[in-house]
Amino acid sequence: MLFPRLLAAAAVAAAARAQIDPGKDLNAYLAEKTDKRVAVSFEYRQRAEDRTGIVFGRDRDIAADFLRLRVGLTVRPFTWMKISGLAQDTRSAAYGGIEPGTVKDPIDLQEGYIDLFSSKQLGPGLTVGRQMLNYGDTRLIGSPQWAYAARTWDTARLYWVTKKMKLEFMSLSTIVPRSDSFNKPILGDRIWGMYDTFKDVLGKTVVDVYVLRHDQNRPGGFTGVGTLGINLYGTRWAIPLVRGFRFTTEGVLQTGKNGILAHRAAGWVGQIGYKTAIRKRPVDFANEYKYASGTNPASGRSGTFDQLYPAAHDKFGTMDMIGWRNVHNVKSMTSFGLRKTWNWVLMYNNSWLADPRDAAYSAQGRPVARAPRGDAGRHIGQEIDLYSNYLWGGVTLGAGIGQFFPGGFIRRTTPGAHSRLLFLTTSYSF
């Protein structure tokens, strides 16, 4: 794989120096010759990382170079049908040890689906197959592109679109990347239900309303007695305010069962943002509070919020140390556009346990530390991040640093390492 890597890197560098975007020209040519029936896509992404203090010092440090290649083809044999496929190859250099599927996933099918009637934009539509999906702010369901092998789903989605709403029924099965075989859906781990979006509510407000069900059995990954069956009732409101201000909020209530226990949980997010300019350069301020319930063992029921499968990068910091479960979190983020093609982002996060007798959870939703008697405190820790992205021709260059400072709970229940991330990234796509 060394020669293809060097060839791809050389092509990206050449495109950047020449300030050209060959992919755009290629698709323009294909559109002209095929009456817009054929299009291709391509992505090259490389990210070198140096991570220390992984899982607060429980896992070994990693310094590696991660590469993702994608090649896709979309064909429209009829005006009412789209057939799309995307192959993905994910590798790592200098990772060391056994590489999991999330790091090494040789050539596999990332997307392969048929979309009916969507070109009409309004009216009915049906999508069946494997697809990357994002809903709302991706706090519950999303395909995180920051991940080495982004999540994808086997799905069937039936929807109806008007100028002011989209009504959708969907069924999703998760795909687990496998480094040694073809990726298959986990049919015992399924999300299904309704996700509806309404536009121009009370002005320009966008409202999402959803009722979802998360079912998981033992073959699907559930480790308790019985099965998991959680109902989610949620809504998201994106409200533009006056003079550059905006407000976004999302709330979720959960019922159902977690094995033999009744499940009752809740999560909430509120964010206020403000866009302005300093010396004609855009600045965006965003401040956010998040809450997700935890389990009190004395209650005799499950209370830990089920975060499903989000695209969670940056939700609790660039290092992705913490998930939306059993947590109070405050976040502040400032984005500054130095130029049209160059921006800087400064982010701060501070997190506490919602219930000190429950665990702190990772970005993947797994418990990483616990004090069953609740005597280790609540403070998980603080994180500060600084990163920048620069668009050069058709190439994006990025770099950043993140530092996590453990709080009392983490220091008492883990080695308490001061975790750090350094990264350099290059990407080109069309």
Q: If DSSP codes are grouped into helix, strand and coil, which group holds residue 243?
A: coil
The 3-state secondary structure of 334-371 reads: EEEEEECCEEEEEEEEEEEECCCCCCEECCCCCEEECC
The token duo for 319 is 């290092």
Dump pLDDT digits (tens) for 246-273.
999 999 999 999 999 999 999 999 999 9
DSSP bridge pairs for 148: none
Asked which of 50-64, 87-101, 103-117 is least confident by mean pLDDT, the reply is 87-101
- State yes or no: pLDDT of 1 exceeds 80: no
Residue 284 pLDDT = 97
Contacts of residue 22, Cβ cutoff 8 Å, sequence gap at least 6:
15, 394, 430
Contacts 24+ apart (CB under 8 A), 51-54: 51/319, 51/419, 51/420, 51/421, 52/417, 52/419, 52/420, 53/404, 53/417, 53/418, 53/419, 53/420, 54/419
Average of per-residue pLDDT across 348-359: 98
* 430, 49 Cβ separation under 8 angstroms: no
Instruction: Report in angstroms the alpha-carbon separations of 430 from 5, 134, 342.
Output: 18, 19, 19
Instruction: Measure the CA–CA gap between 186 and 172, rounded to whole angstroms.
Output: 10
Dump pLDDT digits (tens) for 75-109.
999 989 999 999 999 999 888 878 888 889 999 99
Dump pLDDT digits (tens) for 173-188.
999 888 888 999 999 9
Percent of the chain with pLDDT over 70: 95
Residue 2 pLDDT = 42
* 368, 376 Cβ separation under 8 angstroms: no
Is residue 258 within a helix (H) or strand (E), and if so which, with residue range? strand 245-258
For 12, half-sphere exposure in the C-beta direction (CA atoms, 13 angstrom radius) is: 23
Residue 118 pLDDT = 73
Q: Which of 176, 171, 196 is nearest to 186 (CA)?
A: 176
- State yes or no: pLDDT of 6 exceeds 50: no
What CATH number is attached to the domain comprising 237?
2.40.160.100
Average of per-residue pLDDT across 56-78: 94
pTM for this one? Answer: 0.91
Number of domains in the chain: 1
* Amino acid present at 187: L
SS percent in the chain: helix, strand, coil, step 5: 10, 55, 35
Instruction: Measure the CA–CA gap between 4 and 25, rounded to whole angstroms.
Output: 23
Instruction: Report in angstroms the alpha-carbon separations of 423 from 313, 398, 429.
Output: 14, 8, 20
Residue 306 structural domain: 2-429
